[in-house]
Amino acid sequence: MTRCLALFPALALAVCLHAANAQSAGSPTQAVLAGKLIDVRTGNVRSLAYILIAGDRVQSIADAAPAGVPVTDLSAYTVLPGLIDAHAHILSNPTSQSIADALKTSIPQSTLWGVYNLRLWLDHGFTSLRDACEGPPDYPQFALRESQKRGIIQGPRITSAGSCVSLTGGHGDGAPFSADIDLPRGRNVADTVDDIQHVVRRDIKYGADWIKLMATGGVMDPISDFHVQELSEAQMAAAVETAHRAGKKVMAHAEGAVGIKAAVRAGVDSIEHGTMLDEEGARLMEEHHTWLVPTLYCFQHDMETGLSKGRDPDSFKKGQEILSAQGPAFKLALQHHIRIVYGVDDDDVDESVSKEFGALVRGGLPTLGALQAATINAATMLGKDQDVGSLEPGRYADVIAVKGDPLSDITVMEHVDFVMQGGKILKDPAHPDRNPVPHLH
């Protein structure tokens, strides 16, 4: 710039500024031709649109591609931004729900399950996810997050909670044994306000992006009662204050109505499940602008698999009971305009991760709302909407394609044919053997 000004002070200024702007924007390195491109913010559909990509980012949406730029032809497909699962447990073993199997699984083996599961999320079009807490005290989910960032492993970009912050005997205690078996206290267990501040600080110290609180009992474990509030409102308020002061957000597992309301009053950023939400709770969530991640299909899928994967019978009975409350609670959430985010919370990623779309629509959410839940809503809740969640200039070139029109038939989202993450093609119908993922089923 300095040299240009010295040689041609008047004319060169405009020329050099134009060149500098062009360089900062970058020239497109590739393009994707979308037969139909859905704007997830508005629901508008653009036909035969070119997504121009510079490096790993979207440069612009255009009616044509510059000469010489390689084009991936998806003119027979509907194109959307990469999807986001905001309630994942990446270390899960998809083949078993047995407590005995969980106790026999080492942390290294759980981590390897995580590597496998992350590939499955990508294969289904999920280019980002939020891990909603894991049990091991040394945080293997953080190692997977950092390994994905560095390109050591392949998977969605990970935003991660730390431990499942619980209390003695609560959902997340992780030790459903008889009293004569003396085990060390879990590092995620907090029975007082002082305890919970320590646990939250520990999670943050080792790299948590979110804090996960167990506001109520749960369904999957055999010892807690999902109707019952577990962590006190004072504990949750202390956790929120500690986390927010450190720039972190807080999610709360909350099934029963009392615990949901206590968590919302305490200031959590999202309620997970919210399965027994009542009118007062819905009104509180609306007033506090609290996000809801309803995980509808997870409970529905549990009724299909039953005890076939070694699930504890007491746990299954709880699932049967809670399923009847799911529909009315979700309708209340929609009536109160609570912001909905897509989350799966199912161990079997391959079987379940795309089925939440249908469950949301059956529950009363419009098809566009279901797509928004897995894209722009999830990105906004995670504070990542400047990078992911939409196909707009400056966002990552995370692109997926499906056959058919998800705005008229949401089930087409269950079969993603094309996946691009950060400008790299990971799944392509033109090259089905490009990056195959082994499937256990």
| CATH 3.20.20.140 location in the chain | 83-381
Question: What DSSP string runs through 304-324?
Answer: HHTTTT---HHHHHHHHHHHH
Q: Which of 344, 332, 343 is nearest to 381 (CA)?
A: 343
Q: For 28-81+391-427, which CATH superfamily applies?
A: Urease, subunit C, domain 1 (2.30.40.10)
Q: The sheet that has 291-293: what strands, in order across it? A: 83-88, 126-131, 157-165, 210-214, 249-254, 270-273, 291-293
- Residue 211: enclosing H or E segment and its boundaries? strand 210-214
Can you tell me the distance from the alpha carbon of 295 to that of 345, in angstroms, rounded to the nearest whole number? 6
Give the CB-side neighbour count of residue 195, counting CA atoms within 13 A: 17
| Chain centroid, CA 310 distance in Å | 27
> Buried b vs exposed e over 327-358: b needs ≥16 C-beta within 10 Å?
eebbebbbebebbbbbbbbbbbbbbbbbbbbb
Q: Is the pLDDT of residue 11 over 50?
A: no
| Average predicted confidence (pLDDT) for the chain | 90
Q: Three-state secondary structure along 217-282?
A: CCCCCCCCCCCCECCCHHHHHHHHHHHHHCCCEEEEEECCHHHHHHHHHHCCCEEEECCCCCHHHH
Q: What is the DSSP string of 40-60?
A: TTT--EEEEEEEEEETTEEEE
Give the pLDDT band (50/70/90) at residue 25. Answer: low
Q: Tell me, what's the pLDDT at 221?
A: 80
Give the integer Cα–Cα distance in Å for 66 and 80.
Answer: 22
Residue 340 DSSP symbol: B
Which pLDDT belongs to residue 174?
73
The more confident residue out of 96 and 159 is 159
Q: What angle do CA 89, 94, 97 make, to 5 degrees?
A: 90
Residue-wise pLDDT for 86-135, tens only, equals 999 999 988 777 777 777 889 999 999 999 999 999 999 999 999 999 99
> Is a pLDDT exceeding 70 seen at residue 293?
yes
Looking at 57-66, 67-76, 267-276, 318-327, which range is the least confident one? 318-327
Instruction: List, in sequence order, every residue forming a beta bridge with 273; answer none if it has no partner.
Output: 254
What is the C-alpha separation between 357 and 344, in angstroms, rounded?
10
**Residue 33, beta-bridge partner list:** 50, 73
Residues in the chain: 441
| Cβ–Cβ under 8 Å, residues 41 and 376 | yes
2 or 235, greater pLDDT: 235
% of the chain surpassing 90 pLDDT: 76
Location of each CATH 2.30.40.10 domain in the chain:
28-81+391-427
Dihedral over alpha carbons 342, 344, 345, 347 (to 10 degrees)? -160
Pick the CATH number of 83-381 from 3.20.20.140, 1.10.1040.50, 3.40.220.10, 3.90.550.10: 3.20.20.140
Q: pLDDT-derived band of residue 28, with 50, 70 and 90 as boundaries?
A: very high
- How far apart are the C-alpha atoms of 288 and 424, rounded to whole Å? 39
Torsion region of 174: left, alpha or beta (phi above 0 gives left; psi -120 to 50 gives alpha): left
CA distance 356 to 358: 5
- 419-428 pLDDT per residue, tens: 999 999 999 9
